[in-house]
Amino acid sequence: MKYLLALAARSAWNRKLTLGLTLMSIALSVALLLGVERVRQDAQESFAQSVSGTDLVVGARTSPVQLMLYAVFHIGEATNNIHWKTYQDLAAQPAVAWSIPISLGDSHHGFPVLGTTPDYFEHFHYGEAQPLAFTQGQPFAGLFDAVLGAEAAEHLGYKLGDRITLSHGMGDIGLAEHADKPFTVVGILARTGTPVDRTVHVSLEAIEAIHLDWQGGAKIPGITIPAEYAGKFNLTPREVTAVLVGLKSRAAVFRMQRYVNDYSMEPLLAVLPGVALDQLWQVVGVAERALLAVSGMVVAVGLCGLIAVILASLNERRRELAILRSVGARPRDVFLLLSAEGLFITLCGTLLGMILLTASSAMLAPFIQSHYGLLIEPKFISADELGLLGIVMGVSLLASLAPGYGAYRLSLADGLTPRI
């Protein structure tokens, strides 16, 4: 058997170009499969960590998924707002360490506008409890100051000191502008890979100021309050859209949730962000499963290419196989030899694909995190990836039986008979 393997190795070396291309195809296929699985896992973790360190998200009574969509992802609209007095009662609870009121409903060229307080930049965290950071500028301090997320600033080409105007309502077309009260860009946040990147941040008082001469969603005819006089009015918010709550102790989370859900002054809902985000992922996770299926088909195509190359070479290798039979190789030996050849090439391609993926992950991880906010942790292999590789090797073993069986059927007389 040792001599058979030595002869097979020499035979493979004579076909090194063809087999090398096949091996590289399998390596790239495996790297793609594992890469998609790794990105899927990291994207799910990043999605689940869109908000970190927040114990409860409180809003008007609705479904938990809808509350997370508008409060965290700034998608859609709230069924109702929360009265300011309700927010004050909530913030005054002994178990509450901090609270961040947020107000939504306006936009800027399709990017959502978030009204909040300076505490937002101190207490809002994402990922592994990472705080918000500024690449330029600082948090808003003046009434008409604005802080932009990284994607909003990059897409619109804004820099510090630029003047912007907000639009009433969500969207990008046909919206009335608050053109008489422009804002100044005073800060640009570092990229986070969360909805923060697409958000324009202003103060709650600014949201009230731009709506002083508005009523019922439209500007009051004949009344205009210039920006320089807006600060003379009482700009305490009457309502907010939602509240992010941090507790002094995680042990109090269910007691606080029950307090909010049973609040008698108005119907409220408090959700645990992690639980609601897991539910939301079940809705949007279809795409990542589709990507995994596509990468699996790519691997299947690579294995089919391997089998096609080995089968195509069988006719050329008839004399070689016949010589092996003539020196004592049994049909079973030839069968095992051809099957092992396909399995060995797949194994080498798999190892090469793992090395390629690990190297590319290490090199591209900083770029991906800085440009897309997705943290890719360079690692050699995980338990889930081992399962995928086991499936690949199992399928390869089954597929390699085809050329082995083809070689098994070649007879000594057929191999030695000259063909005209």
71-126 residue pLDDT tens: 998 888 888 899 999 999 999 999 999 999 999 989 998 899 999 999 999 999 98
Residue 412's pLDDT is 47
Confidence of residue 420 (pLDDT cuts 50, 70, 90): very low
125-139, 219-233, 313-327, 334-348: range with lowest mean pLDDT: 313-327
279-310 residue pLDDT tens: 777 776 677 677 777 777 877 777 777 677 66
Using an 8 Å Cβ cutoff, are 100 and 117 in contact? yes
4-8, 95-99, 217-221: range with lowest mean pLDDT: 4-8
Mean pLDDT over 200-213 rounds to 92
Amino acid at 389: L
Who wins on pLDDT, 377 or 258? 258
Mean pLDDT over 142-146 rounds to 94
Q: Where are the beta strands (DSSP E) in 122-220?
A: 125-126, 130-131, 134-137, 145-148, 163-164, 167-168, 183-189, 200-203, 214-215, 218-219
Average model confidence (pLDDT) across the chain: 82
- Minimal CA–CA distance to 273: which of 289, 287, 253? 253
8-state DSSP, 52: B
N-terminal to C-terminal alpha carbon distance within the chain: 33
Who wins on pLDDT, 241 or 337? 241
Using an 8 Å Cβ cutoff, are 350 and 392 in contact? yes
At 13 the three-state DSSP class reads helix
Mean pLDDT over 390-401 rounds to 77
Mean pLDDT over 305-330 rounds to 68
Amino acid at 359: A
17-65 residue pLDDT tens: 777 887 888 888 888 888 877 777 777 777 777 888 899 999 999 888 8
155-164, 167-176, 260-269: range with lowest mean pLDDT: 167-176
